[in-house]
Structure 1
Amino acid sequence: MIPEYGRNTIADFSSSLLRHYGALPPGEPMDLSEKGIDLEGVDKIVVFLLDAVGYANLLPLMRRRDSLLADPVIVSTMTSVFPSTTTAALTSFYTATPPAAHGMLGYYLFLKEYGCVSNMIELTPIFQERDNLTRMGMDPLKFLPVPTIFELLHDAGVRAYHITSKSFINTGLTRMHTKGGIAKGIHGIGDMIEEVKDLLHSGAKKNLIVVYWGLVDTFGHKYGPESMAYIDEVRWYLEAVRAFFLRLRSSRTAFFVTADHGQISTPWEKEVWLNKHDDIYSLLYTLPTGEHRALYLHTNQPKRLKDLLLKRYDDIAYIMTREEAIDSSLFGGVPYEDFASRIGELIVVPKHDESFCFKYSGQEHSMKGRHGGLTPEEMEIPLIFLRK
């Protein structure tokens, strides 16, 4: 499933929110009316943004009569971006731009300006402590080449808030994503609802509130997206949102529930583990980067390496050059100036539920759920609309 850039991705959804508030969106907004969504007269919008809850992941909950999804709400779908992973998809939501434009292209990236492979969630060279890139000169507030939606809303005179776990509130990535907004830290679902209630009752006539919830992704990686832990966490979260919505009285407030990407079960027996002793590694000039389901390979011998990969993995993976990926619009938009060096020369994307893993330290382990690829389970995400 290829991302529907310029029409129906999470970035286009953000553009539609910007347009609603009178801010200038960087791209073509999603046509919400095609989904039956009417924001006419809405002053305050709350976006509940779950990490790693695809439309397919919600299907078991749709059969429950007490579910949020059983109420007379509008349930539609849109696509994530490629790679379908937190760093890329959240940045697309928070900037209303595709990955090619914002440059956050995966969990691990080769940053030539710092001469290292970095963990882009923790903003640190691999094997180092969180936010070490800031000690090397990175300014999270200046790293992105595009403005955030919070900055654009601020320029339009609209207050915008971001609610997330207190453990994330001062991290480099959160500061990067929320530049121009007002950040609030929470401990759990209870005070999440309380914070949203207080902001809705504040004196501001118009505001946007984005609530990020990342725990579902953690459970999906550890236990799998079909596990009780994963499903119950989603159910409890949606039940809390439903109860809050039922107490809501204002017709000028609307809720959206969505996600950055989905998650797919990844059995350990379908993991391909690579290491520094493989013949593949001998053709690389730096460590593999990207994701387990969207692997970037940096090589000076792309034809030789591609031929080797096709011979070995053609039945389970798409092997493409950087140019082929760009021509296929996998990343969307016009590539950012550092785009090429960050994704390398070759990209490996599993066709089904396979994973391509690299032993960076030897401490890596299997995960029961992953994302990053192009399957419907990873790419198709819900867009749920609630309004009195």
Structure 2
Amino acid sequence: MIKNLVTPNYKDGSLVNLMSSIIQHFGGDSQYSPLKDLSLSQLAGVDNVVLILLDGMGYNFFIRNAKLLDYPIMDYLQSKMTSVFPSTTAAAMTTIYTGLAPKNHGCLAWFTFLKELGLISTIPPLTRRNYGDYITNSTIKANDILRLQSIFEHIPTADSYFVIAEKLKDTPYDTVVSKGAKSVVTFTNFADSMEKIYGTIQSNSNKKFILHYWDGIDSKSHLDGTIKAIPHFEEIIQQIFELSEKIKSNCPKTAILVTADHGLIDIPKGHTINLKDHPKLEETLTLPLCGESRAAFCYVRAPYREQFELYVKNDLDAYCSLLSMKELIDSEIFGLFDPHPQFKYRIPDYILLMKENYMIKDKMLKETRIRMKAVHGGLSEEELYVPLLLFKN
């Protein structure tokens, strides 16, 4: 089944390869090849690299809307890359923050079952699903769970800066992925973040790697659909373009890279599959659905596996494809090379990969789940492909 799907190109065309290009440019080592569309020679002579990550800005979304702008932003389009699988913030941003694919870093989805703690977590920020409290405490530290090194720890020849919203600073997850940065620079809004980036570049003559994260497009799309996120896209792209012009005039040997972790797909009313409406399927599951609403992780009770498979085939075939654990592992859809120590426990028995513009969800006891008008996590072109822009002087 997987062979007929568009999947991440971990060989030389995904987010993990972009991060390899950056790591190797600054003298670090990466087991992944550099991005084919951003060779080391293209960054030759660059002292400062600014990576701006716009959560939710898929390639198709960018192309549709960038063409309508009255300044030449399309001239800076460098590449069409794939995200990772699942095409979701938890997996893709951890790839950005570590230079590893999901198979290697172990943060597979928003709802991830942590066997070592016996609970379903939300990664990031490392809270319990349906409770909201952090799963860390005085004895269990964030990196006891994540067991990761950040990308900043792999960049030996430049000062690293992590530019994030004030609300994210000091969360357990961000404490781990910011380790090795010279400074965590916080901001209050997008315009402020552009000023912080410019000020950081100007602060001294040292080589710098600056990593910036913004969630505006994603959050607006979830709540109101991708069309309603267009005005915000136009606003922040213009501010990035203005920053690039400012840097071109005043900051030599600086490159700005702009990309995204994933795109989103709009979900019409009536295209949400509720697990409660399928009790014969629900009774086969050991845990609530994990993973993503477009790629649901299913942990199935051993005596009920045949019932589970038949139900999906007979009753849900129009809405989703069924991927087994063996298919997932053999296809290397989560990445290449050696797995994270907990990968074998976090990968599910099956994934329900949603077709077209369908999603699936469930609810735990008394859980509040808002209706999302656009989601991600699957393998549609809207979700999987992301753009790469390069501004270089």
Separation in structure 1 between the aligned mates of residue 300 and residue 351 of structure 2, nearest angstrom: 11
**Is structure 2 residue 384 aligned with structure 1 residue 382?**
no
Equivalent AA in structure 2 for residue 241 of structure 1: I
Aligned position for 1:239: 238
How far off is 1:366 after superposition? Answer: 1.9
**Is structure 2 residue 66 aligned with structure 1 residue 62?**
yes
After superposition, give the CA deviation of every residue in 1:154-203 in whole Å (9 maximum; x if it has no partner): xx142111111101111112112212112111001221111111111122
Aligned position for 2:270: 269
Equivalent AA in structure 2 for residue 231 of structure 1: I
1:324-363 matches, within 5 Å, as 324-333=327-336, 334-360=338-364, 361-363=366-368
How far off is 1:65 after superposition? Answer: 4.3
After superposition, give the CA deviation of every residue in 1:48-82 in whole Å (9 maximum; x if it has no partner): 10001101111232223424524x32432111000
Aligned position for 1:96: 99
1:288-367 matches, within 5 Å, as 288-301=289-302, 302-333=305-336, 334-360=338-364, 361-367=366-372
Report the secondary structure of 2:196's partner residue. Answer: helix
After superposition, give the CA deviation of every residue in 1:103-126 in whole Å (9 maximum; x if it has no partner): 100111111111111122231222
**Is structure 2 residue 169 aligned with structure 1 residue 165?**
no
1:102-121 matches, within 5 Å, as 102-121=105-124
How far off is 1:93 after superposition? Answer: 1.1
Contact 1:37 1:74 in 2 (8 A): no
Aligned position for 1:279: 280
Normalised by the length of structure 1, the TM-score is 0.93
Report the secondary structure of 2:136's partner residue. Answer: helix
Separation in structure 2 between the aligned mates of residue 125 and residue 66 of structure 1, nearest angstrom: 45
Report the secondary structure of 1:337's partner residue. Answer: coil
1:124-273 matches, within 5 Å, as 124-130=127-133, 132-135=134-137, 137-153=139-155, 156-181=156-181, 182-227=183-228, 230-248=229-247, 249=249, 250-273=251-274
Report the secondary structure of 1:331's partner residue. Answer: coil
Normalised by the length of structure 2, the TM-score is 0.92
Contact 1:352 1:375 in 2 (8 A): yes
**Is structure 2 residue 75 aligned with structure 1 residue 76?**
no
Contact 2:58 2:385 in 1 (8 A): yes
Separation in structure 1 between the aligned mates of residue 82 and residue 7 of structure 2, nearest angstrom: 8
Equivalent AA in structure 1 for residue 58 of structure 2: G
Contact 2:55 2:218 in 1 (8 A): yes
Aligned position for 1:25: 30
* Count of residues in Structure 1 that have an aligned counterpart in Structure 2: 381
Contact 1:16 1:32 in 2 (8 A): no
| CA distance 1:183–1:33, shift in 2 (3 Å) | closer
Report the secondary structure of 1:117's partner residue. Answer: strand
Over aligned residues, Cα RMSD in angstroms?
1.9
How far off is 1:129 after superposition? Answer: 2.9
| CA distance 1:115–1:141, shift in 2 (3 Å) | closer
How far off is 1:128 after superposition? Answer: 1.9
Equivalent AA in structure 2 for residue 51 of structure 1: D
Contact 2:109 2:292 in 1 (8 A): yes
Equivalent AA in structure 2 for residue 6 of structure 1: K
Equivalent AA in structure 1 for residue 44 of structure 2: E
Q: Which runs of 5+ in 2 are unaligned?
A: 1-5
2:53 to 26, 49, 62: 49
Separation in structure 2 between the aligned mates of residue 146 and residue 363 of structure 1, nearest angstrom: 31
Structure 1 runs (4+) deviating above 4 angstroms are none
Report the secondary structure of 2:241's partner residue. Answer: helix
Report the secondary structure of 1:133's partner residue. Answer: coil
| CA distance 1:31–1:218, shift in 2 (3 Å) | same
Equivalent AA in structure 2 for residue 9 of structure 1: S
Separation in structure 2 between the aligned mates of residue 136 and residue 373 of structure 1, nearest angstrom: 36
How far off is 1:135 after superposition? Answer: 2.1
How far off is 1:137 after superposition? Answer: 4.1
Contact 2:159 2:206 in 1 (8 A): no
